[in-house]
Amino acid sequence: MESILIKGASVVVTQDRERRILRDFDILIEDHRISSIARDISATADVVLEAKGKLVMPGLINTHTHIPMNLFRGVADDMGLMEWLEKKIWPMERKLNPYHIRAGALLGMLESLKMGTTTIFDMYFFEGTIAEAASKIGIRAVLASSVLEFPTPETRSAEEALSIAENFIKEWKGRDPLVTPSIGPHAPYSVTPENLIRAKEIAVDENVPLQIHLAEDYSEVEQMRKKYGKPSIKHADDLGLFDARTVAAHVVWPSSEELEILRKRGILVSHNPVSNMKTAAGFSPIPDYLKNGIRVGLGTDGAASNNVLDMFETMKFAALIHKGYMRDPTVVNVRQVLDMVTRTPAEFLGIKLGAIEPGSMADVVILDIKKPWWIPLHSPESHLVYSARSSDVAHVIVNGKLVIENGELTTLDEGQIMKDAVKASLDLLERSGVKSFLSNKL
């Protein structure tokens, strides 16, 4: 494994326990990990990255996405949810096969890496194909094989989906340090209580995370009350779903009693502010979560309902919308937001990530801060949340390997990834009958 020396970093936002911010430090990476942080490290290394005028920080962690849905970017916007699903998304989704999944996944992973994201949480179909793509391109990925009651592009029933999910976990568990397999029962309204319990049992037996959409929309919560006499989170808890290490995406509409369930059960809430605003799902009560000691991570959701996988944009929205909504500029501060994309999800995973400190896995992002919007540098933390652009990303290291160098992917051919994605999108349009600007190429 190559060693990497980051030389003379102007700023290091460590995100360690003390949240230290260092000036003019070197960072030595050896054998996948950060081995030393000091001034004037004299060790030789296979790769030396000059970092004067640059800021070093831990890699960003995106706690919720559907990575192959990059193929659906912009195919349907500014529509009601059911129209969006029934006329555009579902017709295309029904035609997906591993060829499309690979093309969309690689496109989404390329976008993520170039924007400074080193770990993605994904829930979709054909996760074995997505795992292969993650391994090849060099991104860390927590991948959930989806479970739904109705047929999907991959399965005909929930029973088959559970079997595929269990086999995926067994095949990929421990196979690649970049891939953490998991299981993804879609939501309490789309999976029966019996199959939610079965999904939980698989997650617990295999000691892997469980990913689920939860209390995403008010209509969902009302539907659950009518059907089961209780809201979504309470229903899931009563089934014992949270015996598994659970990532709950969105969680926009909890009841007051459910806040204590989320805290006690150690749930990681994945806050998706941009997607939730675009779909008019509402505003997740993040200030209440933080005040009650509930763990919060940030996610983009899929590109079909966000359009970009930009975690810098997501950080800014996460900090701003709650201030505006509550008319309180003190809620959701920059340090809390930075924790949401680094330390908090890393601690949930139980992997030594999310900080620049000796012994930590070397998932590192280096940003060029010689830009007008970084000057004057009164506060590196503030600038990361309110001023930084994903285009500032210069280098990205994942698991000790340089995967983005001077803004370009080192592991695969960027141009080919984008060409393949366009080709796969055209194929989906033709198969589904959905039209877009791209259809003119048909």
Question: d(Cα 302, Cα 66) in Å, to the nearest integer?
Answer: 5
Beta strands in 82-208 (DSSP E): 117-124, 140-147, 179-185
Token pair 């994904």 is found at 122
For the segment 224-252, the average pLDDT, to the nearest whole number, is: 97
HEC profile of 40-82: CCCCCCCEEEECCCEEEEECEEEEEECHHHHHHCCCCCCCCHH
Amino acid at 3: S
Domain contains 394 = no
Question: d(Cα 163, Cα 147) in Å, to the nearest integer?
Answer: 10
Copy the structure tokens of residue 168. Answer: 């995926």
For the segment 319-337, the average pLDDT, to the nearest whole number, is: 97
Domain contains 338 = yes
Domain contains 313 = yes
CB atoms within 10 A of CB 52: 10
What's the pLDDT band for 370 if we cut at 50, 70, 90?
very high
CATH number for the domain that contains residue 144: 3.20.20.140
CA proximity to 399, closest of 365, 359, 364: 364
The pLDDT mean for the chain works out to 96
What's the pLDDT band for 128 if we cut at 50, 70, 90?
very high
Domain contains 428 = no
Task: Answer yes or no: is pLDDT of 85 > 90.
Answer: no
pLDDT digits over 3-61, tens only?
999 999 999 999 999 999 999 999 999 999 999 999 999 999 999 999 999 999 999 99
Inter-residue contact 352 to 346 (CB < 8 Å): yes
Amino acid at 157: S
* Residue 441 pLDDT: 62
Domain contains 8 = no
* Residue 440 pLDDT: 77
Domain contains 387 = no
Task: Answer yes or no: is pLDDT of 1 > 80.
Answer: no
* Residue 81 pLDDT: 73
Copy the structure tokens of residue 271. Answer: 């806050």
Cα-based torsion angle of the residue sequence 292, 297, 303, 305 in order, rounded to the nearest 10 degrees: 0
Cis peptide before 376, with omega less than 30 degrees from 0?
yes
Pairing of β 60-65 and β 54-58: unpaired
Helix/strand/coil for 401: strand
Inter-residue contact 297 to 271 (CB < 8 Å): yes
Task: Answer yes or no: is pLDDT of 83 > 90.
Answer: no
Burial string for 214-247 (b: 16+ CB within 10 Å, else e) reads bbbbeebbeebeeebebbbbbbbbebebbebbbb
* Residue 439 pLDDT: 83
Structural domain including 151 reads 60-349
Question: How large a percentage of the chain has pLDDT more than 90?
Answer: 93
Residues 6+ apart with CB under 8 A from 280: none
Query: 170 or 436: which carries more pLDDT confidence?
Result: 170
Task: Answer yes or no: is pLDDT of 442 > 60.
Answer: no
For the segment 129-155, the average pLDDT, to the nearest whole number, is: 97
Copy the structure tokens of residue 16. Answer: 């360690």
Domain contains 25 = no
CA proximity to 275, closest of 310, 309, 300, 249: 300
Q: What are the residue ranges of helices labelled H in 150-255?
A: 158-172, 193-206, 218-228, 232-238
Domain contains 264 = yes
Task: Answer yes or no: is pLDDT of 318 > 60.
Answer: yes
* Residue 313 pLDDT: 98
Task: Answer yes or no: is pLDDT of 214 > 80.
Answer: yes
Looking at the 3D structure of the chain, how many domains does it have?
Answer: 1
Inter-residue contact 162 to 147 (CB < 8 Å): yes
Question: d(Cα 183, Cα 142) in Å, to the nearest integer?
Answer: 10
